[in-house]
Structure 1
């Protein structure tokens, strides 16, 4: 019986090591959902005295609070990042790579697209300022980059922890997850007395959610029955309703996201179980040829889409304020119908941006003749990246910080340098032995440094 269970576990891990089309399709759908939600949130208003204010129309709707329980799909991004991150780490480790190699590749993969965004925004907004655009409009457009940056910081933090958490996961997966949950609850309990402590949950919450992706990658949820999965969905939502109903946490999930708390982790449990439950149907849809073609293009540029869509949306809204084009009042039926062309316009503007800057998401070029950066350089690059992001999180994003962030990101890219080819130190070792008995899938011989987001 035990041998049969181990055989099923090994088989599920073998399948998990392959690229799951359901993950790519869900990530693509979630990106579209995020863009649509932001189109219903961004609403700059130009007043008669020349001042500009913003209205978050979607957040002001009474029906949005319960709907946000379904639409808050940020935890799902981290779950999927845990699946692909663990697979990528195991492939790199099997080829002789180290945790610093993984950190270098992850930093390059995520920082390069952000560097381009900050540099273009800083240059474009300075030109607009010199042309006489009101500073308040400039600040409004600058703020448009703040949300993608906090997500980048949180996602990058979780991804850089993958080698360490993967080691703990292989030794005691459930204990590792439970320990992170305890840390999340402890921080939430102390955030009233020490408010700044709440920001440490930017690490604990998202790492705990990422661990759910680890469990999914290793077949933990696949081995559970449909009844168990439905029970997990029901119980996590009932507990979420309890802690928000007694006012321990806000009922609005958007209010719970920055800094994150236990509510986001409960949502992640529900979403992970739902993803597993709907997996067969999602894979069938992902198998349709034209959908495969769309995902093959858009899936490789997901970070570019996420980083650029909100600044482009804010920029379009700001430019509309400078024209005589009549805009419907926020919240009216005309305004809601106008969200459809706004969404289409954002997608249309994203296409050339992806064509120009999307290649920065390509896998870092491996160079067998080049030495990789030192560990000091990798650590320094990580610190350099997080300095402007932390400043923006605590003090808000300004035009000066936008330029400083672009410079810091560029410096980090220079510090990280070229990517050496990992070389197996034990040429005769089996992959199962490298992974502690866990089977894995090596990349094709011609592929190098093939890490997916």
Structure 2
């Protein structure tokens, strides 16, 4: 099956909106004593929570990921590959750039801690540089479960996503009624797993054979979301807001599940029109570089905020109208433009690192035929555990260097690198490298 430009577009579109959304809601204030603070826009200016309906686009990233993974695993199975080898390859493709990013940030944290940077400032910066990490453990877990999830899909089709959604709703009911937060952790895999599973169904035509199904998903999911926020206990915000309970993202709620269904339906409805646009080479030339740099953009997009803060806020050069005022919103335009220029320069500077990581992956990715090695699974488990803690606590919790978490992440990636490649490549592996840049 040839490369689907629309799937690549969805991935690129999701990344662009995530970056813009994070930048838009990040507001900096220079206090009278020279400290830089970052008030939480969604909590300080509550009407902005409605903006999250446009910027919460991660369902499409998981949908596109499921579409790509379904094809990748099908080809690997047909070529005689094993689940261990395939999962190891997928994990390493994500973890190599993540490890390089984490290593450089942790090096900076260590230097700052050694020279006596204020612990509160260091903790805030460390959190900002890890805020996007929540996505990685969930995606890695779904990748690890892909052989089982796809086997269920081949047998039961769309019913798997329906059952997962039903269980997710039951889990969320426990979270809301009896306040069982640890039970709610299952919804990270269940809710985002529904979008991932729908990607399998989309690839195999189960969502497009019936002409009315995409429209029914869009209207039904949107209506369910509206009812849940109007009559139920759920907020409108599709991004975490401090002090807001229940939340739609921590853990993902049944309202988020409805949004997943609605967004999938809209995605399928607009697919023919967008595909026609992507067939124009000039349009594709604009989309392709963004998709190719998606992991770099996702990992590094908060560093420009720190650079601009140092250049314009620490020096008191930035104009500072009242937070959330009309003047403040007017300055969002140059704020986004400056951040975009800094990020473009950063991406260009990181290209040699990307090429070196790609070469390292080709030399060390796990053998696709490996069947009984425990190392990729242990490495994946250690990496998921470390990334989960970084996502919650940041890179410098309480202003301290996280020795154990750093060791855990290094150990996890090291175990994935150790098996190496000992057998000839399957042709399907080269297709996969082309199909999913991330």
Using the size of structure 2 for normalisation, the TM-score is: 0.86
The question of 1:285 aligning with 2:283 is answered no
CA shift at 1:145, angstroms? 2.4
Structure 2 unaligned runs (5+)? 241-247
Residue equivalent to 2:230: 245
Q: Among residues 187, 193, 196, which one is paired with 1:210 in the alignment?
A: 196
- Preserved contact between residue 131 and residue 391 of structure 2 (Cα < 8 Å): no
The question of 1:349 aligning with 2:351 is answered no
Between 1:413-422 and 1:198-207, the stretch displaced more is 413-422
Matches of 1:135 and 1:237, distance apart in 2: 44
Matches of 1:106 and 1:211, distance apart in 2: 17
Q: SS of the residue aligned with 1:224? A: coil
Matches of 1:405 and 1:288, distance apart in 2: 46
Residue equivalent to 1:409: 409
Residue equivalent to 2:100: 116
- Preserved contact between residue 127 and residue 393 of structure 2 (Cα < 8 Å): no
- Preserved contact between residue 85 and residue 366 of structure 2 (Cα < 8 Å): no
Q: Among residues 163, 168, 175, which one is paired with 1:179 in the alignment?
A: 163
Given the superposition, is the C-alpha separation of residues 272 and 53 from structure 1 closer, same or farther in structure 2, using an over 3 Å criterion? same
Q: How many residues align?
A: 418
Matches of 2:18 and 2:392, distance apart in 1: 24
Given the superposition, is the C-alpha separation of residues 293 and 134 from structure 1 closer, same or farther in structure 2, using an over 3 Å criterion? same
Matches of 2:87 and 2:269, distance apart in 1: 33
CA shift at 1:149, angstroms? 1.1
CA shift at 1:411, angstroms? 2.5
Q: SS of the residue aligned with 1:91? A: helix
CA shift at 1:239, angstroms? 1.0
Matches of 2:262 and 2:365, distance apart in 1: 44
CA shift at 1:374, angstroms? 5.4
The question of 1:137 aligning with 2:121 is answered yes
The question of 1:157 aligning with 2:155 is answered no
CA shift at 1:306, angstroms? 0.6
Given the superposition, is the C-alpha separation of residues 46 and 179 from structure 1 closer, same or farther in structure 2, using an over 3 Å criterion? same
CA shift at 1:395, angstroms? 4.7
Q: For residues 57-116 of structure 1, give each alpha carbon's deviation from its aligned partner in whole angstroms, at most 9, with x where no partner exists.
A: 355444433332232111111111111111111111121111111110111111111111
Matches of 1:123 and 1:150, distance apart in 2: 21
Q: SS of the residue aligned with 1:251? A: coil
**What's the RMSD between the two structures over aligned residues?**
2.9
Equivalent residue runs for 1:333-412 within 5 Å: 333-350=326-343, 351-359=347-355, 362=358, 364-365=361-362, 375-393=373-391, 395=393, 397-398=395-396, 400=400, 404-412=404-412
- Preserved contact between residue 30 and residue 314 of structure 2 (Cα < 8 Å): no
The question of 1:331 aligning with 2:324 is answered yes
CA shift at 1:320, angstroms? 3.7
Q: For residues 349-393 of structure 1, give each alpha carbon's deviation from its aligned partner in whole angstroms, at most 9, with x where no partner exists.
A: 332354143336648316799795952101110121022223335
Structure 1 unaligned runs (5+)? 1-16, 425-441
Q: For residues 141-162 of structure 1, give each alpha carbon's deviation from its aligned partner in whole angstroms, at most 9, with x where no partner exists.
A: 1011232211111121122211
Residue equivalent to 1:197: 183
The question of 1:271 aligning with 2:249 is answered no
Matches of 2:340 and 2:386, distance apart in 1: 29
Matches of 1:126 and 1:368, distance apart in 2: 30
Matches of 1:315 and 1:136, distance apart in 2: 18
Between 1:150-159 and 1:308-317, the stretch displaced more is 308-317
CA shift at 1:277, angstroms? 0.9
Matches of 2:431 and 2:70, distance apart in 1: 18
Q: For residues 407-430 of structure 1, give each alpha carbon's deviation from its aligned partner in whole angstroms, at most 9, with x where no partner exists.
A: 433322321222344678xxxxxx
Between 1:390-399 and 1:132-141, the stretch displaced more is 390-399
